[in-house]
Structure 1
Amino acid sequence: MALDPILQQMLNQMPIPASEKLDIAAYRAAAEAFRPMMVGPEGPIAVASIEDRTLSGPRGDIAIRIYRPSGAVEGTLHHYYGGGWSVGNIDIIDPIARRLARDLSMVVVTSNYRLAPENPFPAGLDDCLVAARWTLDHAGELGGGDQPVVVSGESAGANLAAVVGLVLRDERPGRSFDAQLLVHPAVDLRDTSFQRASVLADADPSLRSHSLRQLYPLYSAGHDHADPRLSPLAADDLSGLPPAVIAVLTVDPLRDEAVEYADRLRAADVPVELIEFGNLTHGFTGLTVVVPAADRAFTRTLAGLRHMLARKSATTARS
Structure 2
Amino acid sequence: MPSTIVMTGASRGIGRAAAQRILRESPDTHLLVVARGSSGAGPAADLGTGGHRVSYVTADLGSLESVRSAADEIRERLEHGELPPLHGFVGNAGVQCTNALIEGPEGFETTFAVNVLANHLFVRRLQAHFVRPARIVITVSDTHFGDLRHNLGMVPGPAWRSPDVLARPAAFPELHTTTAGRTAYSTSKLAAIHLVHEHARRLPTGIDVIAYNPGFVPGTDLARNAGSVSRFAMHRILPAMILTPFATSRTAAGRHLADLAVGTTVAPTGCYVDRAHVARSSAESYDPRRERELWDAAERLTAAHTA
TM-score interval for Structure 1 and Structure 2 normalised by the shorter chain: 0.3 to 0.5
Q: Give the alignment's TM-score, normalised by structure 1.
A: 0.40
Q: Which structure has more helix as a fraction of its residues? A: 2
Higher relative contact order (CA 8 A, sep 6+): 2
Q: Give the alignment's TM-score, normalised by structure 2.
A: 0.41
